[in-house]
Structure 1
């Protein structure tokens, strides 16, 4: 058995070549290359059973090389060496169906384990029935490409003892597993047994790490076009027993009248998986699902939601979140990415509210928040994430009600009355019916500044904005910001900004 090791880092290749007893693993010959182009040249002259390759390399990357070698040796096994930065890049390699992705830095024991699995796979190919199944899987995958290679298609049809007429009345079904662990071992075999027990003729394979593809084919005894929802319902109930605690989507594509339309059936099933997102986990969608207009929340939704937070009104907040969820459910159309972005917006505005009002509710970075949103597999998951976060916020506020309500009300009173010359400790004390010493101590503890300092800073900030955005007289601006003495305003403004109001108005940042 021949193994090709390709990596542009010399020390990585040498480490693996010296630390691993390849003969013991069943490798008769080990070939090495420093990049994809050199690796491909070796494969042209020497049959390859297993490839271990880095992703990013000069001249020709590992993905392009593996794809070209697969054309020479369709049964060769691919093991990719991948760094963290390659994760997005690996999406383009999905059609190659690599057996494993070994994380860098590479440990010899990881490679040994992966090679043992690859050798076992290669040995199984010598088994006639196993090899036949592999060819059927390959054909099932090939039919999910928009323009399959005619020669490859013809060859696989012959090897699978099928003709193009077998697809003259066919339909594609997709089953997407919502876990990130891939398809459990033995699941495809059990699913095949279930389909056979149901009297169905089919092609079955995996298409990506978490997607199962079934092409239902007609025969003399049963036409696919004759199968109704009353047939599929009990079938999918039996399928659900196979998945046990694993969540999934099932999407049934449109009828294909010839082999060229199989891809259209596949595509309609892919669209169905989008609808499953709105329908929820373990749901089934059928091509031709009644179309509905895309739902987009009105412009006031986020404002209303934020208003319920500012008013500490959880009842209204959760009614709004529920209405958003139900509206999306009633309109299972549009891009899932847009739905995610909307939920990202209504969560990020909560964190922004806490930051701007100095509320010590734990915040999240943009990346952390997006990672949480991206982890949601269904609309229901997004809804639960939003409800739980807002519930946590209101619980936090309730737990800290006394301190948060007093300091929050103080800031709100200052912001609403900054133009009142009487605004000060006495005004605030009387408004909240709390002693001046208590509110002074609490405000200093909560914000790190005194009430008088906060009033002055806020008034100067408002005055600065008016100076730049309006042509009102400086005396009018001073008056509307609570300063009855223009000279005092000018002196204080220069102390805070380093410029007089006139100089500031003429300053161009």
Structure 2
């Protein structure tokens, strides 16, 4: 088996070449190249079974080189070495269906694991006719999802799969999108094969873009695809969905295609129909052309009304508006999902702006963080729940802080009204407020930084100080009027707080 290693970093190539026992992995011939162009020239001279390539290289990058080598050798297994900055770049390589992406910095252990998998793949292609047939079928499925498939490759794959252009007269594309981060679950296609075989339907099937399962339904002598009713297709696809067990998914059915060239249009219509699933909800099935083309966009009055409810602390009014927005989107399931996300972003963003403008210490989020949360919603229902939960958290926060301020204010009022009562203390306040002593103590300390007892003493001393200056009343009478029946205790506290006895204070001032 021949492997070609292409990387413009000399030390990376030498590290992998010398630290891995390639022969033990089943590699008979090991070739190397310093960039994409020299890699492609090497591949033209020798048939390549496995390609390991960096992405960003001078003269010709890894993507372009891999595409050219795949044209030469359709069965060549591709392994990409990718850095973090290559992730977006790799989107253009999806159609190549690389077997693995090895993250940089590269460790020999990672490469050994990936190469072992690639060797197994190559051996299966060579030794298992069933495996090779399924791989070629999957390639044909993917090829038919492109707008302009290469005629030579298309003709070859049709022949390998025992099909002809006439096989696609009266056909239709079905799409299953797995919403799991793990993509299409292992074994799903095998179970789907059994299901479709039991239904007596002709089809070709393959995975696409990691999280899509594409099924092209084909007409046979006994069954035309155009004769399959929507209830039948819905029932069939629901049985298919049972195979996903606890995974979340969307399923879309494309329009009917009358010939091979129209099949791409059927695929595209299914892709567009997946937009409807966002509105229909998790684990839903949509049919292309089933909904009208009109979308919904809230006007400026909606957001003004929402902000008005926030300012007036009208939680019920706010949730009524959010529910009306949700209902409006549900009744217009053909809008652009990106626009829906932007509308909800605006609703949430103005809440944070309001908090910032009014110095409300509610949770904050950067624009990117807010957008990331909104983008994580797979359905309108999830997006609505995010908005409702955030606004609910805001109103809970405002209510709790208002209650805290109210309790502290009532404590101050009761102290002001009753500071002359010797019984004024935690128990007195607790009984009057009908709240536990521990609760009011903790709340008051959190807000003021002082304990209730300290506040009572401080207030009483302030009142006594004022009376000492404004009247000639006896010190004992002033002490009693300020809640100190014991003059000696009053004198000690007064000196502790002011540094002087009551008599000294009166005479000094």
TM-score range, shorter chain: 0.7 to 0.9
Give the C-alpha shift of residue 253 in structure 1: 0.7
Cα 1:32–1:402 shift into 2, 3 Å:
same
Please name the residue that 1:498 is paired with: none
Following TM superposition, the consecutive aligned residue runs of length 4 or more in structure 1 with deviations greater than 6 angstroms are 404-407, 441-445
Q: Conserved in 2, the CA contact under 8 Å of 1:359 and 1:404?
A: no
Alignment of 1:266-281 (within 5 A): 266-281=267-282
Give the C-alpha shift of residue 309 in structure 1: 1.7
Q: Conserved in 2, the CA contact under 8 Å of 1:253 and 1:287?
A: yes
- Aligned: 1:389 with 2:398: no
Cα 1:16–1:285 shift into 2, 3 Å:
same
CA distance in structure 2 between the partners assigned to 1:210 and 1:353 by the alignment: 40
Q: Conserved in 2, the CA contact under 8 Å of 1:83 and 1:103?
A: yes
CA distance in structure 1 between the partners assigned to 2:34 and 2:366 by the alignment: 40
CA distance in structure 2 between the partners assigned to 1:29 and 1:311 by the alignment: 76
Please name the residue that 1:40 is paired with: 40
Q: Conserved in 2, the CA contact under 8 Å of 1:6 and 1:36?
A: yes
Give the C-alpha shift of residue 406 in structure 1: 11
Specify the SS of the correspondent of 1:147: coil
* 1:476-501 Cα deviation digits (max 9, x unpaired): xxxxxxxxxxxxxxxxxxxxxxxxxx
Cα 1:316–1:50 shift into 2, 3 Å:
same
Please name the residue that 1:495 is paired with: none
CA distance in structure 1 between the partners assigned to 2:397 and 2:117 by the alignment: 51
- Aligned: 1:75 with 2:82: no
Q: Which has the larger radius of gyration?
A: 2
CA distance in structure 2 between the partners assigned to 1:321 and 1:108 by the alignment: 54
- Aligned: 1:249 with 2:232: no
Specify the SS of the correspondent of 1:3: strand
Give the C-alpha shift of residue 290 in structure 1: 2.9
Cα 1:328–1:88 shift into 2, 3 Å:
same
Please name the residue that 1:506 is paired with: none
* 1:426-478 Cα deviation digits (max 9, x unpaired): xxxxxxxxxxxxxxx97999xxxxxxxxxxxxxxxxxxxxxxxxxxxxxxxxx
CA distance in structure 2 between the partners assigned to 1:135 and 1:113 by the alignment: 24
Cα 1:405–1:30 shift into 2, 3 Å:
farther
Give the C-alpha shift of residue 227 in structure 1: 0.3
* 1:226-251 Cα deviation digits (max 9, x unpaired): 00012112212211110011111111
Please name the residue that 1:6 is paired with: 6
CA distance in structure 1 between the partners assigned to 2:21 and 2:252 by the alignment: 47
Alignment of 1:392-403 (within 5 A): 392-402=393-403
Please name the residue that 1:231 is paired with: 232
CA distance in structure 1 between the partners assigned to 2:212 and 2:42 by the alignment: 34
CA distance in structure 2 between the partners assigned to 1:369 and 1:34 by the alignment: 43
Please name the residue that 1:282 is paired with: 283
Cα 1:405–1:18 shift into 2, 3 Å:
farther
Q: Conserved in 2, the CA contact under 8 Å of 1:55 and 1:63?
A: yes
Please name the residue that 1:102 is paired with: 102
User: Which 10-residue stretch deviates more, 155-164 or 301-310?
Assistant: 301-310
CA distance in structure 2 between the partners assigned to 1:173 and 1:29 by the alignment: 42
Give the C-alpha shift of residue 397 in structure 1: 2.0
Specify the SS of the correspondent of 2:243: helix
Please name the residue that 2:476 is paired with: none
Specify the SS of the correspondent of 1:158: helix
Q: TM-score, normalised by structure 1?
A: 0.78
* 1:353-404 Cα deviation digits (max 9, x unpaired): 2222222222112222111111111111111111122222222222222467
User: Which 10-residue stretch deviates more, 239-248 or 311-320?
Assistant: 311-320
Q: Conserved in 1, the CA contact under 8 Å of 2:169 and 2:259?
A: yes
Please name the residue that 2:305 is paired with: 304
Specify the SS of the correspondent of 2:338: helix
* 1:84-132 Cα deviation digits (max 9, x unpaired): 2222211111111111222222222222211111111111101111111
Please name the residue that 1:435 is paired with: none
Specify the SS of the correspondent of 1:70: helix
Specify the SS of the correspondent of 1:400: helix
User: Which 10-residue stretch deviates more, 198-207 or 55-64?
Assistant: 55-64
CA distance in structure 2 between the partners assigned to 1:309 and 1:443 by the alignment: 27
Specify every segment of 5 or more residues in structure 2 that has no aligned partner in the other structure, as ranges: 409-445, 451-509
Alignment of 1:73-472 (within 5 A): 73-126=73-126, 127-402=128-403
CA distance in structure 1 between the partners assigned to 2:141 and 2:44 by the alignment: 27
Please name the residue that 1:464 is paired with: none
Q: Conserved in 2, the CA contact under 8 Å of 1:52 and 1:81?
A: yes
Specify the SS of the correspondent of 1:47: coil
CA distance in structure 2 between the partners assigned to 1:131 and 1:404 by the alignment: 73
Specify the SS of the correspondent of 2:300: coil
Specify every segment of 5 or more residues in structure 1 that has no aligned partner in the other structure, as ranges: 408-440, 446-509
Cα 1:398–1:125 shift into 2, 3 Å:
same
Give the C-alpha shift of residue 64 in structure 1: 0.9
CA distance in structure 2 between the partners assigned to 1:339 and 1:379 by the alignment: 8
Q: Conserved in 2, the CA contact under 8 Å of 1:145 and 1:263?
A: yes
CA distance in structure 1 between the partners assigned to 2:448 and 2:344 by the alignment: 34
Specify the SS of the correspondent of 1:102: strand
Report the aligned-residue RMSD. 2.1
CA distance in structure 2 between the partners assigned to 1:131 and 1:313 by the alignment: 65
Cα 1:406–1:330 shift into 2, 3 Å:
farther
CA distance in structure 2 between the partners assigned to 1:45 and 1:246 by the alignment: 46
